[in-house]
Structure 1
């Protein structure tokens, strides 16, 4: 091999390295450019997600506020339906009282009060109010409140013999236990 041949080979090798270095530099630039554009895309996506999060948070805050206001409104007017049903009963009581004052008719007053009581009882029954059946039943502390024990020959021990005050249930819940006398 001659010296000229060595120089050609060295130039070829250096050219090859230069070409490889240029290609590597181009690839790095392309990678950096691709990385930069990918990073920009991720930043845009991150910003979109953050904005979406803020909108959802605001929607949720609005929902909570609306739910709280609806709950307050419901509590404020919960008895509206019952009051509307009781107004005719109040009107009938008023008519019965004013009629009895004018006519001084005791029997008409009693009849009017009886009719009004039945109307009131019907409204309360429609709302789920039921009287607790007590007399003759075994004493049950869930439904009865014993205020006195009495000796009774006609009833076994622990049987309700007299109801002092009526008890009531609203649907399945005792709202006032019956006050009773229990046999011993």
Structure 2
């Protein structure tokens, strides 16, 4: 065997030994990792699940308590709003009610109709003021086109001067607040001139 062949064989042997050493080292590392990654025991898994369940139950109970507190607060706010709204609505009429009582008492003690009429006018004025404070408006219908959205026709009458479809008279005032109708105006509607009404 020549020196070159001998040298080549020594190099091959050294390479094989290096590869084997590397493989052995890799296997040793894998075994060490496997030892470190020991699967948890059933008891450990059970304890972990118990802790997670306990945490979830605590979270659920806290959320439940928050929901109950929110429900109670909403109920309290609704009740407070209802009473405040009722108080705000009634308050403007308390003085009117007192003056009605005074007018009744005065009429029982006097035959003076003028005084009674003046008292009734004053009460009517206070009603108007109370309605104004609440944003309630009277619907003025006379001379306007009949509108079924805000008017309620109680009858029709022929008229020489008022065109058909227009309101001739208003029996009772209608009321609204903003765009909301509280009560329609009770009206008499023109059916046009007598001859036109007769043709229909």
Query: Into which bin does the TM-score normalised by the smaller protein fall?
Result: 0.7 to 0.9
- The Cα offsets for residues 128-180 of structure 1, whole Å up to 9 and x where unpaired, read as 11111100001111011112111111011110011122111122111111111
Whether 1:148 aligns to 2:178 is no
Unaligned runs of 5+ in 1: 1-12
Q: Pick from 28, 36, 50 the counterpart of residue 20 of structure 1.
A: 28
Query: Post-superposition, which runs of at least 4 consecutive aligned residues in structure 1 deviate over 6 A?
Result: 33-36, 38-43
Structure 1 position 119, deviation (Å): 0.8
Whether 1:65 aligns to 2:72 is yes
Q: Larger Rg: 1 or 2?
A: 2
Equivalent position of 2:123 in the other structure: 116
TM-score normalised over the length of structure 1: 0.74
TM-score normalised over the length of structure 2: 0.69
**Whole-angstrom CA distance in 2 between matches of 1:57 and 1:32:** 40
Match of 1:139, SS state, is: coil
Unaligned runs of 5+ in 2: 1-20, 192-200
User: 5 Å matches for 1:115-134?
Assistant: 115-134=122-141
Report the aligned-residue RMSD.
Answer: 3.4
Equivalent position of 1:83 in the other structure: 90
C-alpha spacing 1:108/1:53, structure 2 compared with 1 (3 Å): same
Q: Pick from 107, 119, 142 the counterpart of residue 100 of structure 1.
A: 107
Structure 1 position 68, deviation (Å): 2.7
- The Cα offsets for residues 36-74 of structure 1, whole Å up to 9 and x where unpaired, read as 9x9777875664354223312320122123313432453
Equivalent position of 1:31 in the other structure: 37
Match of 1:131, SS state, is: strand
